[in-house]
Structure 1
Amino acid sequence: MPTAYITAPADEADAIAERLVEERLAACVNRFPITSTYRWEGEVHHDEEVALLVKTTDDAYADLVDFVEEIHPYDVPCLERFDESHVLESFVEWRAESISAE
Structure 2
Amino acid sequence: METAAETTATAPAEPPTPAALTVLTTTDAEDKARDLASGAVRARLAACAQITGPVTSVYRWEGAIETAQEWQILLKTSAARYDALEAWLTEAHDYDTPEIIATPVVRGSAAYLEWVARETAG
TM class by shorter chain equals over 0.9
Q: Is 1:69 aligned to 2:90, yes or no?
A: yes
Amino acid at match of 2:74: L
Establish whether residue 15 from structure 1 lines up as the match of residue 49 from structure 2. Answer: no
Percent of aligned pairs with the same amino acid: 33
Larger radius of gyration: 2
Aligned partner of 1:58 in structure 2 is 79
Q: Which runs of 5+ in 1 are unaligned?
A: none
| RMSD value, Cα | 1.0
Q: Does 1:90 align with 2:107?
A: no
Confirm whether residue 39 of structure 1 aligns to residue 60 of structure 2: yes
User: Structure with the greater relative contact order (CA < 8 A, sep ≥ 6): 1 or 2?
Assistant: 1
**One-letter amino acid of the structure 2 residue matched with residue 3 of structure 1:** T
Distance 1:37 1:87 in 2: 32
Deviations 1:68-88 (A, max 9, x none): 111111111101110011111
Deviations 1:35-86 (A, max 9, x none): 1111111111111111111000011100001101111111111011100111
Moved over 3 A (4+): none
1:76 is paired with a residue whose SS is coil
Unaligned segments of structure 2, at least 5 residues = 1-19
Amino acid at match of 2:93: H
